[in-house]
Amino acid sequence: MLKGIPNILSPELLKVLCEMGHSDQIVLADGNFPSEKMGKECKVIRCDGHSVPEILDAILSVFPLDTYVEKPVSLMAVVEGDKVETPIWNVYSKIIKKYDNRGNDVIQNIERYDFYEQAKKSYAIVATGEKALYANIILQKGVVVD
């Protein structure tokens, strides 16, 4: 056990976050995301039973977003014609604003298959039990400065 580290960050997830370098990406995947298929070339960490917002909040408490790119946060855009609401994106926005003063300016939406291609190149995928649709998010790691 460590002081100041959110309990939801397992030893395996903490190790991965520490291993990641500047510009490496991590996917926080909802329960419908094909994590194992997309993660054949990267690490897949199971966090079943947890939601993306609670994991996002915990990760951003120890993980800086990249300041060398305009949009270090990517969301999977709703497929054209899909009549789906995405209230979880508002939750993400509030969490991101808590840790990065750029707020919504760091967030971009990318097309579904482009998201999949980016996910395949990520350092790790965190597979959650999130039930919200279009709840997948990619974070690009920044530089830790004192």
Catalytic residues: 22, 66, 116
* Contact predicate 123/25, CB 8 Å: yes
* Contact predicate 6/56, CB 8 Å: no
Structure tokens at 65: 């977003």
- Indicate if the alpha-carbon torsion angle 8, 142, 87, 111 is positive or negative: negative
